[in-house]
Amino acid sequence: MEMKKWFAVIGDPIAHSKSPSMHNAWFDDMNIDAAYIPLHVKGEALEMAVASLKTLGASGWNVTIPHKQTILPFLDELDSLAEKMGAVNTVVRLPDGRLKGYNTDGAGFVHSLEEVIGMDKKDQEVLLIGAGGAARGIAFALQQYGYHKITITNRTVAKAEEIIAELGEGEAVSTRDAEDSLNKFGIVIQSTSAGLANSEFKMPLSLEKLREGAIAADIVYNPLMTPFLISAQQKGAEAVNGLGMFVHQGAIAFNYWLGQYPNTNNMIKRLTDDLNQLV
Ligand code: NAP
């Protein structure tokens, strides 16, 4: 008999993660005999945790803060995008037992964006606000999916310059320059921690000059409507919230593990209801 498959998410903290309920709901919906559990792993325990997951037969797992970069030395192989990003959020146990790392965060964002705006807007000027770990993944994925007019702005401009140098195209600009030239962008992506529930940091820049009809996407999804999205809608932009990115990064991981793409629309609806009940 085939052994039951099991999966996990490792991180610190981990209790808040919505990944277990999302993946377990997909297993139920799709009649897959598998389980997905949260595992609290501290930094110093990471190497032993990876060895244990391997020994105990996990088929794969997700990796979240603070292990996305530090797990690299413990993996046998990296997907090319994960290698470029220097960060892994998904591990797959290959049939021969070796561990391969992927990063599905950036592609998850692009899938969620294209689910709303379609695949025919790749010629638009894109402004990416933020140059942290999430921004990095999004920048490489945008390029891989055919978006080549990318401008990155960040409080610390040097970090935006670094990503642009690695992309080999696009430009890095100051917050002030981004604000002044805002009307040239058809797609504006908010990828800093601005607007997170209970945070003092609300807006990464002024949307005074945002173009009417522009697409404004935020990756923060708690709350679903961030100050950035509210302000963008007031300027006549179309808002894309961050929940789709979360659901699609999970769906792409699920597909790497099981070879099937789960239903993302139903999951986005389900989690939207959950999040709305919190407010
Ligand atoms: P990170 O690596 O810590 O980067 C944080 C970013 O926010 C940097 O660009 C940083 O600018 C900027 N920032 C922070 N405080 C600021 C302030 N007071 N003023 C101006 N800029 C500030 O974090 P990350 O991993 O990229 O994640 C960013 C957010 O994305 C998280 O809070 C999380 O909510 C969200 N996220 C969502 C998903 C999803 O699935 N939807 C996935 C991943 C992350 P500096 O470089 O100048 O410090």
Candidate from 157, 193, 201, 203 with most ligand 1 atoms within 8 A of CB, to mutate: 193
Candidate from 69, 192, 205 with most ligand 1 atoms within 8 A of CB, to mutate: 192
The ranges assigned to domains in the chain are 5-103, 106-241
pLDDT mean over 142-156? 98
Assign residue 187 a region: left if phi > 0, alpha if psi is -120 to 50, beta otherwise? beta
pLDDT digits (tens, 9 = 90+) for 3-37: 799 999 999 999 999 999 999 999 999 999 999 99
Q: Which of 45, 55, 52, 58 is nearest to 14 (CA)?
A: 45
Nearest atom in ligand 1 to the alpha carbon of residue 192 is 7
Q: What is the pTM of this model?
A: 0.95
pLDDT mean over 140-150? 97
pLDDT digits (tens, 9 = 90+) for 209-268: 999 999 999 999 999 999 999 999 999 999 999 999 999 999 999 999 999 999 999 999
Assign residue 146 a region: left if phi > 0, alpha if psi is -120 to 50, beta otherwise? left
The question of whether 68 is a catalytic residue gets the answer yes
Nearest atom in ligand 1 to the alpha carbon of residue 131 is 9
CA of 96 to the centre of ligand 1 (A): 37
pLDDT digits (tens, 9 = 90+) for 88-138: 999 999 999 999 999 999 999 999 999 999 999 999 999 999 999 999 999
CA of 121 to the centre of ligand 1 (A): 25
Question: What single DSSP character describes residue 212?
Answer: T
pLDDT mean over 169-189? 98
Q: What is the pLDDT of residue 2?
A: 73
pLDDT digits (tens, 9 = 90+) for 37-88: 999 999 999 999 999 999 999 999 999 999 999 999 999 999 999 999 999 9
pLDDT mean over 179-186? 98
CA of 131 to the centre of ligand 1 (A): 8
What residues flank ligand 1, with Cβ below 6 Å?
105, 130-135, 154-156, 159, 191-193, 196, 201, 204, 219-221, 242, 245-246, 249
71 close to 63: Cβ distance less than 8 angstroms: yes
Q: What is the pLDDT of residue 3?
A: 78
Nearest atom in ligand 1 to the alpha carbon of residue 130 is 9
Asked if domains 5-103 and 106-241 share a fold, the reply is yes
pLDDT of 179 > 80? The answer is yes
For ligand 1, atom 9: residue with the closest CA? 130
Q: What is the pLDDT of residue 6?
A: 98
For ligand 1, atom 17: residue with the closest CA? 201
pLDDT of 180 > 80? The answer is yes
Q: What is the pLDDT of residue 1?
A: 64
CA of 191 to the centre of ligand 1 (A): 6
Neighbours of 15 (CB within 10 A): 7
Question: What single DSSP character describes residue 96?
Answer: T
Which one of the listed residues 5, 18, 54, 68 is annotated catalytic?
68
CA of 157 to the centre of ligand 1 (A): 14
For ligand 1, atom 2: residue with the closest CA? 132
Q: What is the pLDDT of residue 38?
A: 98
For ligand 1, atom 8: residue with the closest CA? 132
Q: Which fold has domain 5-103?
A: Rossmann fold (3.40.50)
Report cis status (omega within 30 of 0) of the bond before 227: no
pLDDT of 278 > 70? The answer is no
Which regions of the chain does DSSP assign to beta strands (E)? 5-11, 34-40, 60-63, 77-78, 90-93, 99-102, 126-129, 150-153, 171-173, 187-190, 215-218, 238-240
106-241 is a CATH 3.40.50.360 domain: no
CA of 258 to the centre of ligand 1 (A): 31
